[in-house]
Structure 1
Amino acid sequence: MVIEYSGIVVRSVLTDKREKFYDSKGIGCYMFRMDAAEVVDATMHGSAARFINHSCEPNCYSRVIHVEGHKHIVIFALRRIHRGEELTYDYKFPIEEPAAKLPCNCGAKRCRRFLN
């Protein structure tokens, strides 16, 4: 285990509204979907895990785990991580229409070129 992705748990239906609010204030948006119903919004009250970037060849992975009836998002190491090495995981964004493709700039040798 490397770190927990923490923040405020909100219903999925509220994420678009929150994202528009953050955009209107010029605030970067940090959200992580736990499941179809809930999202962790780490934008204002989150752990440093919100700053972990995407990579198509990551050194970490994320899992939603259950502890005493509560869901938690945890980032785990895939391998030994060396001091000073950037932490990364695959965001696994859902596939969208070709016009909505999000370009990937991870720089990995086997980069998929898109986040979704």
Structure 2
Amino acid sequence: MAMRYRVLQKTYKQMVECTSPYIHGLGLFCRRDIEAGEMVIEYAGTVIRSVLTDKREKMYDARGIGCYMFRIDADDVVDATMSGNEARFINHSCEPNCYSKVITVDGQKKIMIFALRRSATHQLHYNYFTNKARLAHMYLTSRVTSNVTSIIM
């Protein structure tokens, strides 16, 4: 896995590009065919302690800045808001074509995005809501109309 990670750091820009989808904002798209199980991109940024996330989120809100954070584990979070890469623009879908997985490289935890199925020049999506508590919150606040049980991982 570590070798795949090192190769990806040099080649991911040949695989993906950030551009504006037809809906709004930015999204991450395949530049070439991506196979199921293929490592696509690292969700990169500054690793911060979990206790700092609320403070940073309030600061970003006060400045009118979008907040891009991804939890590694109970203790650490990747904050990609000011120092992230293109992975922060992967949008949510209840029918994702990617998934996230934490791997360890040289003793450091990394959040990696992998292809769930083969994708060819499509926008990349993953499910932001991977546990039941988040799923319930999402369902109650946004009234998801798709099959909610299909996104429980």
TM-score by length of 1: 0.84
1:8 paired to 2:46 = yes
Q: CA RMSD in A?
A: 2.7
From 33, 58, 70, the counterpart of 2:108 = 70
CA distance in 2: counterparts of 1:38 and 1:80, whole angstroms: 31
Q: Hey, what does 2:59 align to over in structure 1? A: 21
What is the total number of aligned residue pairs between the two structures? Answer: 111
Are the structure 2 counterparts of residues 104 and 31 from structure 1 closer, same or farther at C-alpha, using a change threshold of 3 Å?
A: farther
Give every structure 1 segment of 4 or more consecutive aligned residues whose post-TM-superposition deviation is greater than 3 Å: none
Q: Deviations over 1:42-67 (max 9, x none)?
A: 00000100010111110000000001
Q: Percent identity?
A: 60
CA distance in 2: counterparts of 1:62 and 1:11, whole angstroms: 20
In the TM superposition, what is the alpha-carbon distance from 1:103 to its structure 2 partner?
1.7
Q: Deviations over 1:12-66 (max 9, x none)?
A: 0000000000000000000000000000000000010001011111000000000
Decide which structure has greater helix share. Answer: 2
Looking at CA atoms only, which structure, 1 or 2, has the larger radius of gyration? 2
TM-score by length of 2: 0.64
Q: Which runs of 5+ in 2 are unaligned?
A: 1-38
